[in-house]
């Protein structure tokens, strides 16, 4: 008899726990949400997080706090999120750097696939291929021909070793069959400054950072790195349509939560973010060079895996050593 009552009591406890969990996910969110951003304020990651976070705050009436945790190429914020409670109150702006990190670091304190549940891809930010006006090329085809005629004579700037601008440039070299020398800088700002000054000749950089200099004639835009043209510069062709078939590489930003976060919470977060990206916020993001997305969790999870594989191949081909 005692075992029977014990069994019934256990069932009751499980039922109460399940009901409590269901009520918690149905009511989500009931307290502030921490939005982990892996880089310092002012960059693309920070800008899009604050735009989306502010809209979520307005919709839900719960503050979405942008928590900038720069360092280790985005790995510090990722590790904090991976170890956070899987309740939807810590979300992370997963980005291209986290897929690069798999091959760039010998040891990671998190698994970019197993430790997170994908919510949605927020947006991408294609690179713009720009050159100093002294370079005798008006198109991507002409730049490729010039580089092939003078192997190792042209150079390109990047924001630093192992960064996305470094790797997209190496992808371009591989796919175009060119030999262009890498000049790493401590950030995209110094790299662009030296490009404008003519100290370096080629750079893949953020369109929003360089479009003013393109319009003033300080630099020349040859192409954008996405498969389609961007709203910020519709007259600039893609690199792919300009002779390097299939070339596709962008900085991108998405939302993930710790693994084992309840599916109703993921669905709620996904639904609201997609609504935000489909509304007036879309035009605001496009004006700053972003290409809004808002796909399904499954699509974003698959994209993350494909990016890990793509950048692993680039790193291997370029011979970039793991740290």
User: Which residues touch 127 (CB under 8 Å, ≥6 apart)?
Assistant: 164, 165, 168, 204, 205, 206, 207, 224, 225, 249, 250, 251
Q: Report d(CA 225, CA 240) in Å as an integer.
A: 7
Structure tokens belonging to residue 311 = 């950048």
pLDDT of residue 209: 87
From residue 264, give the alpha-carbon distance in Å to each of 42, 54, 56, 57, 170: 33, 22, 17, 19, 41
pLDDT at 2 over 60: no
Residues of the chain above pLDDT 70, percent: 92
Residues of the chain above pLDDT 90, percent: 76
User: Given pLDDT bands bounded at 50, 70 and 90, which one contains residue 39?
Assistant: confident
Task: Determine the CATH number of domain 128-242.
Answer: 3.40.190.10
pLDDT of residue 117: 98
What DSSP state is assigned to residue 136?
A: S
pLDDT at 214 over 60: yes
User: Given pLDDT bands bounded at 50, 70 and 90, which one contains residue 4?
Assistant: low
- Report the CATH architecture of 30-125+250-318: 3-Layer(aba) Sandwich (3.40)
Across 31-35, 230-234, 309-313, least confident range: 230-234
pLDDT of residue 18: 44
* Tens-place pLDDT, residues 64-108: 999 999 888 889 999 999 999 999 999 999 999 999 999 998 889
Where in the chain do CATH 3.40.190.150 domains reside?
Answer: 30-125+250-318
Select, from the ranges 21-35, 68-82, 238-252, the one with the highest average predicted confidence (pLDDT): 238-252
pLDDT at 237 over 90: yes
pLDDT of residue 73: 80
Q: Determine the average pLDDT of the residues in 219-228.
A: 96
Q: Report d(CA 278, CA 299) in Å as an integer.
A: 17
pLDDT of residue 33: 98
pLDDT of residue 92: 97
Q: Report d(CA 45, CA 74) in Å as an integer.
A: 10
Q: How far apart are the first and last CA of the chain?
A: 63
Of 13 and 84, the structure prediction assigns the larger pLDDT to 84
Where in the chain do CATH 3.40.190.10 domains reside?
Answer: 128-242
pLDDT of residue 241: 96
* Tens-place pLDDT, residues 134-189: 999 999 999 999 999 999 999 999 988 888 899 999 999 999 999 999 999 988 88
Provide the residue count of the chain: 323
Across 1-5, 206-210, 249-253, 257-261, least confident range: 1-5
From residue 33, give the alpha-carbon distance in Å to each of 58, 119, 122, 265: 13, 15, 17, 12
């Amino acid at each position: 008899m005692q075992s029977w009552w014990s069994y019934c009591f256990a069932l009751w406890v499980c039922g109460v726990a399940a009901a409590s969990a269901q009520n918690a996910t149905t009511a989500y969110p009931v307290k502030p949400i921490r939005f982990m951003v892996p880089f310092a304020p002012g960059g693309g990651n920070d800008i899009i997080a604050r735009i989306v976070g502010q809209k979520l705050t307005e919709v839900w009436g719960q503050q979405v706090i942008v928590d900038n945790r720069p360092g280790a190429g985005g790995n510090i914020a990722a590790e904090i999120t991976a170890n956070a409670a899987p309740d939807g109150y810590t979300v992370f702006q997963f980005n291209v750097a986290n897929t690069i990190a798999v091959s760039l670091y010998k040891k990671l304190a998190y698994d970019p696939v197993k430790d997170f549940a994908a919510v949605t891809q927020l947006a991408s930010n294609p690179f713009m291929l720009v050159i100093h006006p002294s370079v005798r090329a008006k198109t991507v085809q002409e730049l490729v021909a010039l580089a092939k005629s003078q192997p190792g004579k042209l150079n390109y700037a990047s924001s630093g070793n192992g960064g996305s601008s470094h790797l997209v440039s190496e992808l371009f070299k591989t796919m175009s069959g060119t030999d262009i020398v890498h000049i790493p800088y401590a950030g995209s700002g110094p790299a662009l400054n030296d490009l404008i000054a003519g100290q370096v000749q080629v750079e893949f950089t953020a369109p929003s950072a360089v479009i003013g200099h393109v319009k003033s004639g300080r630099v020349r835009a040859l192409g954008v790195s996405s498969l389609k043209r961007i709203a910020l510069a519709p007259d600039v062709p893609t690199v792919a349509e300009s002779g390097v078939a299939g070339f596709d590489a962008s900085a991108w930003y998405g939302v993930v939560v710790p693994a084992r976060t309840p599916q109703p919470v993921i669905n709620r977060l996904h639904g609201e973010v997609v609504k935000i990206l489909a509304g007036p916020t879309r035009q605001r993001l496009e004006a700053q060079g972003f290409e809004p997305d808002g796909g399904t969790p499954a699509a974003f999870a698959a994209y993350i895996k494909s990016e890990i594989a793509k950048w692993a191949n680039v790193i291997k081909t370029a011979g970039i050593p793991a740290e």
